[in-house]
Amino acid sequence: MPRGLAGFRRPKGRADSVTAFAWYAGCVRALDASGGIDLNRSSAIDRMDADEVMRRYAGGDDAAFDQLYAALSPRLYSFCVRLAGRNGDAEDLFQDAFLKLHRSRATYESGASVLHWAFAIVRSTHLDRLRRRTRRPEKLVASTDEVPGAILEHAGSPESNLHAETLARIVEQELQRMSERNRSAYILLKIEGLTAVEAAAVLGTTGDAVKQRAFRAYEALREALARAGWKQVLRV
């Protein structure tokens, strides 16, 4: 079992939305850690190693790419899926972002966190794509009915819990519905586990703004869960 999962239990029955939400965010964080190399927590290659690999790659060592890809791709792919929502979009975003990371590798500042730098590139690429789409609108497939694949596409055994699936679906759909600013702040802060200061650096804003945006996203998720029938417990 991946580290960090032991602390999570599915809320029994129709849990309140706050518990459900906290449980969901915790699960996603912990489970992401099981999918590849976790750069926020110590793992097979820890963060320092990833930064070192990137430093070598930035210095022109092409052979370091495979290691870098192995270290970054799980987290970046998850991030792309949560940012872009639809599977096809997420894949295109992931490919574009990696290409940009490669093209601007010489600009990586040695000693900086490669994960945060890569998150910033993904987000910048995502914004570019949104801008392009605004200028040249294309036919979009409704994304709100679709659950981002990376999280649920290989949904476990048949006895996998419908309860959790529904919860994940509501959260993911609501994430796709909210503004890009709130979504990205929420993802970085609550799911990717960055601090407000780190998320602020990635998003190019202030820590307070990040907290505010993430809170708005949190409120939207809570309302969505409440609408879906999850009882809300008022905490005094």
Partner 1 sequence: MSDARTPLDPLVAPAVPPLELSARVRASVAQTPAPRSTLRARLALALVAVPLSILAGLLGSCVVFPGRPLLRIDLGALPFVPFAERLLVLLLLAGMATGVALAPGRRGLGSKVTLLGIAAVAVAPLYTLLTNVGPIGTAVGDAAARALHPLGLPCALVAFAVGMVALGAFGLALRRAVPAAPVNRAAALGGAAGAWAGVALFLQCPAKDALHLLVGHSLPVAGFALLGAIALPRLLRP
Q: Which of residues 30-89 bind partner 1 (CB under 8 A)?
A: 31-32, 34-36, 58-60, 65, 69, 73-74, 77-78, 81
Q: At closest approach, how far in Å is the CB of 236 from partner 1?
A: 28
Task: Report the residue from 64, 170, 189, 201 that binds partner 1 according to the rule CB under 8 A.
Answer: 201
Are the C-beta atoms of residues 110 and 55 closer than 8 Å to each other? yes
Closer to partner 1 by CB, 64 or 220: give it. Answer: 64
Residues 6+ apart with CB under 8 A from 144: 173, 176, 177
Listing DSSP states for the chain in one string gives --TT-TT--PPSSS--HHHHHHHHHHHHHHHHHHSS--SSS--SS-HHHHHHHHHHHHTT-GGGHHHHHHHHHHHHHHHHHHHH-SHHHHHHHHHHHHHHHHHTGGGPPTTS-HHHHHHHHHHHHHHHHHHHHHHS-------TTS--HHHHTT---TT--HHHHHHHHHHHHHHHHS-HHHHHHHIIIIIS---HHHHHHHHTS-HHHHHHHHHHHHHHHHHHHHHTTPPPPPP-
Closer to partner 1 by CB, 78 or 182: give it. Answer: 78
Task: Report the residue from 41, 56, 100, 177 that binds partner 1 according to the rule CB under 8 A.
Answer: 100
By CB under 8 A, which span of 42-50, 97-105, 133-141, 212-220 interacts with partner 1? 97-105
Are the C-beta atoms of residues 60 and 43 closer than 8 Å to each other? no
Binding flag, residue 159, partner 1 (CB under 8 A): yes
Closer to partner 1 by CB, 69 or 215: give it. Answer: 69
By CB under 8 A, which span of 137-145, 147-155, 219-227, 228-236 interacts with partner 1? 147-155
Binding mask 112-141 toward partner 1 (x if CB under 8 A, else -) reads xx--xx--xx-xxx--x-------------
Task: Report the residue from 50, 83, 150, 189 that binds partner 1 according to the rule CB under 8 A.
Answer: 150
Closer to partner 1 by CB, 28 or 221: give it. Answer: 28
Task: Report the residue from 107, 135, 141, 145 that binds partner 1 according to the rule CB under 8 A.
Answer: 107
Are the C-beta atoms of residues 63 and 105 closer than 8 Å to each other? no
Task: Report the residue from 46, 49, 52, 102 that binds partner 1 according to the rule CB under 8 A.
Answer: 102
Q: At closest approach, how far in Å is the CB of 227 from partner 1?
A: 21
Task: Report the residue from 156, 179, 232, 233 that binds partner 1 according to the rule CB under 8 A.
Answer: 156
